[in-house]
Each structure stands twice: as C-alpha cells, then as structure tokens.
Structure 1
C-alpha cells in the first residue's frame, strides 16, 4: 500500500504538471506603430497574423462580414487629440478598428468599444463612423498583416494596411494652424519674449505665406539680439520674399561668411541659392 504522504506527493505533482505552461512565440505577435501628425500622435495597436499559404480575403476573411482587422483582441486606433479621419472630426481617444471587406471595396469601422476580443461581440450601435475606401492591388505579396504610415506631410499621413495582395489607406489629418496662431499672438506679445519666440513666429509666417512685413519685424528683433548665421539667413529669406533684395543680399553674405567659418554646409548652400535668386 502506498503511504498517505506518497499519495499526497503524487497528487501535488500531477496538479503542478496539469497547470504548468510552456512559453511559445505568438502565432500572431502584437505590434504597435505610432506617428506624429501635426501636433498630435496617431497609434495603431494590433496583432499580426500571417498567410502561411492560406487565402485570406474572400476565404479566411469572408467578404461582407465584419473583421477584427487583425487577430486576437480588436485592433485599436488611438488619437492623442482630435483629428480629421477621412475629413471627419474624431475626438481624442481609443477606438476599436474593425473592417468590412468586399470584393469591390474596403470599409474601415471606428467603434467606441476598443476592448472586444475579436469581432464576436461587435455592436454596430457603437460605431462612431465608417469609411469606405477603394483597395489597391499591391505588386508584391505581404505575408504578415502590416500597418504603416505613408504619404507624410507636416499635418497629415495615411494609415496604410497591407496584407496578401491588398493595400488600403485611411487618411488622417491634424492641422494645428489655429493653435499655432494663438500661441504666436500670446507669446510675441509678452514683454520678455525671447529671440526664439520671434524666430519661430517669423519662420511660421514665412512657411505659410502670411504677412511678410510682420515676419520681417520679428526677424529684425532676432538679428538685433543674436547676430548668427542662422538669424541673418532668417531675415534674408524673408526680405527676399518681400522683394527687398538689397537687404536679402546683405544678410545672405553675412550668413554665408559665418556659415563657412562654422562649417555648416547646409546654410552655405541655402545662402548661395538665395544670392543666386536675388541677382
């Protein structure tokens, strides 16, 4: 007969074995991709299934049926602040990103429930918006589901999904112009405003083709405080845009000499180009 102690040890050993786990690589590993857009950040969190020789769209991912846009937990789209998604305003927050593929088009679904496991408990009533886009035929096969950001500008990007031979894009915009203009008005009005404030304001006016006379006023303040090759170049490019090539050439020559001494090739080229344009 087995002793009670031996029996207890065998039972305990069986229990430990039954509940033991083996760590293995995930079949659909988790991934996170972030991109600054304007003054905010767009983040996509998803799991990456692979083809493994299978046909996905129209087979494993049926046409006309809501899909989790990945594997495991519903893919999440996170906006750090309000942005335009396909031209429609979406508040800051975390959203479930579902999809509805068909043979002809592809619909992204932004859903208020970002915590579902898959699309099993998807509720259309929680949809914030649907965006239907025309899918593109990719020239190469993408094995693992991939999200990436493409088509960059300072205020926009496309959230691009690639899988199998399919590629679809979701345009996202965050234009901070109103916020920036408010900051410029507030900061430049301060009695103790630093040269960096006036420099940033002048550059923004220059880049967005606003009041060049006002930009030149700020550039003058910068040069008065800091006579450096980058400050001379700032005023030179603004002066050139106003048509004052006399001031532009004078400042560009000053900037060019200082930039050469500093070994800053980028500013050397910038000044040479400006001088050529002002001939």
Structure 2
C-alpha cells in the first residue's frame, strides 16, 4: 500500500511538471471610471478576431451573446445610473447583448455568476433597450469595451469589435444631487454667500440651464464682492451664451478692468477682443468701464439695451435660407417630442445636423463666423445624440442644451424671419423654442402638455 502511494505521488508530480503555463486565449480585463459621484467598474474577457468573420458568423445574429468571452461581462456601480432612459439602482449586473444588422438589444441582468449564456434567465433582466450599430472608426482585432466622451458627469459606453461599434449613455445622478443642494442652501436656508452664488451660477452655466437665474446669482455675487474679476467674467460668459451681446459689453468691460488690476491677462485679452466684435455687431460704441466696488451695472444694462436698438442686419440669402431650414428642422424635432414620437425626433435631429453642417460659412462676415463656429458644434453635438436613439427620454436629456444653443444662434445672427418664442418648463427646468406663443411642452408631452410659459420673444 505504501508503494502504491509513493508511485501515485510521483506520477502526480511528473504530470504537474509536464503541463505548460499558457496565457488565456481571451485575456480578462477590468477598468474603473468615476462619473460625478459614481464609480463604474467593467469586468470582461477579450477574444480576438484571428481571421474569422465575427458578427453574423462566429456570433450569430439574433442570438443572445455574453458580450465577450469566458464568464459573463459585468457592469457594477455604487450609485444610481440612468441607462437606456431608465434609472437603475446601484449594484452589479451582467451585460448581455443580442446583435443584429439593424439594431442591437442591450440587456442588464441580475445574475452575475454565469459562464457564457448557459443558465441565462430573462426573468432576471432589469433592463432591455435597443441601439443602432455603427461602423467602427478602425478595425478592432481584440474585443474592447471602454467608457469615453465624459461630459457633464455622464459618459458613453462603447462596445467595439472587428468593424462594428455600439454605444449608449451612462448618466450619473450627480446633477440631481447638486441641484437639490443648491435649492436647499439658496432657496430654503436663504444662505447669503458670494461664493455660493458664484458656484451655483457656474453650475447652471455649465449645464446650460436657467441662464437668467444663473445671471441673477452671479450678479448678486458681484455686488457682494465687487472687486472679484471672476464674477463679471462668468456673467459675461452667460450673457454671451444667450446671445445678449449688448448687455454683455459693460459686464465684459468690468471684467477687463478688474482683470488688469489683478494681472489676469488672459481674461482681459479675451474680453477686449470680443467687446470689439460685439460693438460692431450691435452698433453699441460707448459704454462705461467703471469697475469700482458698489458700481450699479443695472443702469449700464438699460443704456445698452437702448443703444442696441439698431437696424437689423441682413444675412446673405443663402445663409438665411440655411438658418430658416435649420429652425424648421428644430421645430419638427420639438413637435415630435411633444407627441412622444422618438422615431420622428430621431430623423429630424439627423436632418438638423445635415442642415447646420451644410451652411456656407464663406457667406458669413467675421463676427457672424465667430458666433456660428462657437455654437454650431454644440448644436451638432446634442442633435447627433438625439439622432443616435429612438428613446424619447434620452432624446429629451439633450433637448435643453440644443434649444439654448439654437436660440443663441438665431438671436446672435438676428436670423429669425418670424417671431421665435423661447418657452420655459419649471418642472423640467428647461427651455424650448416655438413659432407661436401657445405652450406645448416637449419635455412631458401629453402628460403635461400645457406646463410652461413664454420667457422671451424674438421679433
């Protein structure tokens, strides 16, 4: 018996020594990315093409796929995220997909113990939505998942392999938390603090939301701390983003005067150039540059509004036609959101991108060119995001920024041939544009159709 045990031990030893240590054919990968206050982690395995035809062959169309190799791919996050237009509670989820030529189905499932798709139970799904596959920017030999395009505490998750790319948004809850904090400290606790007003205004400006409120807050900060150059600097940015160039001139001049005193040369140089441009655009030639503490800017604002009542410049007919068509595309998109029609919104957003992209910039003068270049890329960014999905909830998330930038473009170029009504929804805290004063809310559609009011009119 003793001899048998010795022989068995020797055989086991020789067997272990004979085995090779070979790397996994589909190596595992993991990464973590912070979005706002949320940490997102992805764990997956990375197979390679190796000369095979992947989608439609190795990965059959219409079949559920583990979205990688080996064990199922997992997506975990320590705070609530909005994915595919739905709020998903913090936790760890398996990520499955169903590839097809025209669309992919994205699936989050609560079972993270699976090897491949064996044992997959659809009843454990917490989310299903569809996205359009695209041609990848290059050939991906190795399967890749990455989080990129991080904007405003949100990101895009990319699935890339062979010549195919699929992407969808991960939207953090940071905005909701910050807005609740602002509301609590400013509106409920009535905290009077210049830096708090400045931070709140800066956040609203960066989010392109309620810019009139942001302007009010930063103006308060400026009155409380009159020698701080950063306050008129932000206020000028807010007015510029609204296309209120005549009102921005005295504020920018105050920023220049303070910046020069404090050796903030880049701020001073930036606004000096823009002031000259705005004066040519608006016809405003002389304004105050008083930057002393306690100076009342409201009188300057009134003077500028009166001085800026000049003859409306005429755009080149080709440019005017393009802007009018872009506004029509925007209205059609807005009407689709009112009707909760994600398909039409998708199409019209794509048309808006095409129209804006096709505008002949050689027909613009220097000032118009500067304005258009600054706003057109922002318009295309949000319109492209709306065009990437047919999910109305997701489309509405990009509509406020799109609306603000379209309004700033129309107002800055004085390109409206008919009245344009900027309207505001206090529930969504968001703006939209209409060709008539009747309120029809694109953020809530049929559920709250008449919620809102006219905030400004371009005539």
| TM category, shorter | 0.7 to 0.9
Residues in 2 aligned to 1:67 and 1:80: alpha-carbon distance in whole angstroms: 25
Which of these residues, 216, 220, 239, is aligned with residue 217 of structure 1? 220
Indicate conservation of the 8 Å contact 2:200/2:217, yes or no.
Answer: no
Per the TM alignment, residue 42 of structure 1 is displaced from its structure 2 partner at its CA by 3.2
Residues in 1 aligned to 2:249 and 2:202: alpha-carbon distance in whole angstroms: 18
Classify the secondary structure of the residue corresponding to 2:58.
coil
Deviates more, 1:82-91 or 1:12-21: 12-21
Indicate conservation of the 8 Å contact 1:236/1:249, yes or no.
Answer: no
Residues in 1 aligned to 2:10 and 2:276: alpha-carbon distance in whole angstroms: 85
Which of these residues, 78, 92, 107, is aligned with residue 76 of structure 2? 78
Q: Which residue number corresponds to residue 114 of structure 1?
A: 112
Indicate conservation of the 8 Å contact 1:232/1:255, yes or no.
Answer: no
Q: Mark the CA change 1:158 to 1:238 in structure 2 (over 3 Å): closer, same or farther.
A: closer
Q: Does 1:16 align with 2:20?
A: no
Q: Which residue number corresponds to residue 123 of structure 1?
A: 121
Per the TM alignment, residue 133 of structure 1 is displaced from its structure 2 partner at its CA by 1.8
Structure 2 unaligned residues grouped into runs of 5+: 280-459
The one-character-per-residue Cα deviations of 1:10-54 (angstroms, maximum 9, x if unpaired) are 543332333466543222112223444444343322111001111
Q: Which residue number corresponds to residue 204 of structure 1?
A: 203
The one-character-per-residue Cα deviations of 1:59-116 (angstroms, maximum 9, x if unpaired) are 2212222111001111011233222212122222211001112344321111111221
Deviates more, 1:108-117 or 1:145-154: 145-154
Indicate conservation of the 8 Å contact 1:236/1:252, yes or no.
Answer: no
Residues in 2 aligned to 1:153 and 1:65: alpha-carbon distance in whole angstroms: 33
Deviates more, 1:97-106 or 1:35-44: 35-44
Deviates more, 1:187-196 or 1:138-147: 187-196
Classify the secondary structure of the residue corresponding to 1:53.
coil
User: Cα RMSD (Å) of the superposition?
Assistant: 3.2
Number of residues of Structure 1 aligned to a counterpart in Structure 2:
268
Indicate conservation of the 8 Å contact 1:235/1:251, yes or no.
Answer: no
Deviates more, 1:60-69 or 1:184-193: 184-193
Greater fraction helix: 2
Q: Does 1:251 align with 2:268?
A: no
Indicate conservation of the 8 Å contact 1:28/1:71, yes or no.
Answer: yes
Residues in 2 aligned to 1:49 and 1:201: alpha-carbon distance in whole angstroms: 47
Q: Mark the CA change 1:246 to 1:232 in structure 2 (over 3 Å): closer, same or farther.
A: closer
Residues in 1 aligned to 2:252 and 2:135: alpha-carbon distance in whole angstroms: 50
Classify the secondary structure of the residue corresponding to 1:78.
strand
Please give the TM-score of this superposition, normalised by the length of structure 2: 0.51
Indicate conservation of the 8 Å contact 1:38/1:173, yes or no.
Answer: no
Structure 1 unaligned residues grouped into runs of 5+: none
Indicate conservation of the 8 Å contact 1:107/1:132, yes or no.
Answer: yes
Residues in 2 aligned to 1:269 and 1:114: alpha-carbon distance in whole angstroms: 56
Residues in 2 aligned to 1:237 and 1:169: alpha-carbon distance in whole angstroms: 32
Deviates more, 1:194-203 or 1:238-247: 238-247
Deviates more, 1:109-118 or 1:188-197: 188-197
The one-character-per-residue Cα deviations of 1:109-154 (angstroms, maximum 9, x if unpaired) are 1111122111111111111121222211335321000112344431
Q: Which has the higher contact order (CA 8 A, sep 6+)?
A: 1
Q: Which residue number corresponds to residue 272 of structure 1?
A: 272
Deviates more, 1:6-15 or 1:116-125: 6-15
Q: Mark the CA change 1:210 to 1:112 in structure 2 (over 3 Å): closer, same or farther.
A: farther
Classify the secondary structure of the residue corresponding to 1:73.
coil
Per the TM alignment, residue 277 of structure 1 is displaced from its structure 2 partner at its CA by 5.6
Q: Which residue number corresponds to residue 170 of structure 1?
A: 168
Per the TM alignment, residue 194 of structure 1 is displaced from its structure 2 partner at its CA by 6.6
Please give the TM-score of this superposition, normalised by the length of structure 1: 0.79
Q: Mark the CA change 1:19 to 1:191 in structure 2 (over 3 Å): closer, same or farther.
A: farther
Classify the secondary structure of the residue corresponding to 1:173.
strand
